[in-house]
Amino acid sequence: MSPEDPQETQPLLRSPGARAPGGRRVFLATFAAALGPLSFGFALGYSSPAIPSLRRTAPPALRLGDTAASWFGAVVTLGAAAGGVLGGWLLDRAGRKLSLLLCTVPFVTGFAVITAARDVWMLLGGRLLTGLACGVASLVAPVYISEIAYPAVRGLLGSCVQLMVVTGILLAYVAGWVLEWRWLAVLGCVPPTLMLLLMCYMPETPRFLLTQHQYQEAMAALRFLWGSEEGWEEPPVGAEHQGFQLAMLRRPGVHKPLIIGICLMVFQQLSGVNAIMFYANTIFEEAKFKDSSLASVTVGIIQVLFTAVAALIMDRAGRKLLLALSGFAVGWGPIPWLLMSEIFPLHIKGVATGVCVLTNWFMAFLVTKEFNSIMEILRPYGAFWLTAAFCILSVLFTLTFVPETKGRTLEQITAHFEGR
């Protein structure tokens, strides 16, 4: 590498033979940050019980026809795509902690607008705002958690992002069983408010503080989270203020992880799972289930249980094996978000994660908005055969291109892509 290469501006510092850190506050900070994904899951799951409720109990001005209902489910993904761009911009400028704090504003405002809705446009506007918050939270929370976790538990803690997402979806399903759409929206304000309160007491990530040349603050944050500085590997810094430039794409340490991150997000959405999560109640009603709400809750419980299993085995089984062998809740649900937070070097993390999140939510919009049309054209069995084919392609891609990141520091992962 050339002498001016930003990755070589500062050596890595290691603690040879250091024990794994044992600080417990890293788990508290992870929980605080993961309330963002919980809020994001609740916003995703909200449409499933809310659409039937709006059709049953809402005044005429708020009744949803088929077209309005499809937009009510899908517009959150458009907001989230915009939130991915905004989150990528905020990540490197406002920092990880402040970005999480800021995303609570559109969460609470969006649900408040839905609660006060007087027409369909207010409903859609509220969904758009909650979607914007979802996009920011889905980008920033995995990055914050990966940067505060030590390697031995990074898979466990990183998987908590998807665990909290599916828990939020389940919470929306269960609450929707007993609450009508307005009170359900009021409940949606609770998780982001709790995150706002808890994150005020959590530190910024040491890696971001180092990019701001705040060495003492970074070490203080590290001691707060880990209990000591043992096992810390200081990242190379120096290029993070140059901004992303297209010329960087020539470097394998940039274009390889970017391609992998984008493809993982595309394959995750082409599995079709979001269409099922968004319209679970409607799907079960059309399938003539006696109690569609109970069926939706059952799906949510299964998602939570198997995502919890993924969190427990992630640092033992590894990311690549689970992607290749499992179903969605164990593999393709949590792992693309975890890998996105692991594979990008510090100086392009904001832009690269923003591109990945934008890709994810744009694909989610296409899948959820056109799901019913695909079902009509191909029939249900044809639609599910199509998603099965994409799942097979995703396995082949994983086996061929995705590296194993289990047990590696973030700096070692970057070095792998650069051939160092």
Q: Which tens digits make up the pLDDT trace of 222-243?
A: 888 887 666 566 666 554 445 5
Tokens (6 digits) for 127: 């969904």
CA atoms within 13 A on the CB side of 306: 17
pLDDT of residue 238: 55
- Given a contact cutoff of 8 angstroms between Cβ atoms, the answer to whether 252 and 417 are in contact is yes
Mean pLDDT of 151-165: 85
Q: What is the Cα–Cα distance from 6 to 238, expressed in whole angstroms?
A: 6
pLDDT of residue 242: 53
pLDDT of residue 15: 39
pLDDT of residue 233: 63
pLDDT band at 289 (very low <50, low <70, confident <90, very high): confident
The fold adopted by the segment(s) 23-227+248-418 is Growth Hormone; Chain: A; (1.20.1250)
Q: What is the Cα–Cα distance from 259 to 257, expressed in whole angstroms?
A: 6
List the one residue out of 374, 353, 362 whose CA is nearest residue 140: 353
Tokens 């031995």 locate to 152
At 191-227, the pLDDT tens digits run 999 999 999 999 999 888 988 888 899 889 888 888 7
Alpha carbon 77 to its chain's center: 13
Give the C-alpha distances (Å, rounded to integers) separating 352 from 28, 80, 264, 358: 27, 16, 13, 10
Q: What is the Cα–Cα distance from 253 to 47, expressed in whole angstroms?
A: 40
pLDDT band at 21 (very low <50, low <70, confident <90, very high): low
Q: What is the Cα–Cα distance from 37 to 364, expressed in whole angstroms?
A: 16
> Domain locations in the chain?
23-227+248-418
pLDDT of residue 251: 84
Q: What is the Cα–Cα distance from 35 to 201, expressed in whole angstroms?
A: 14
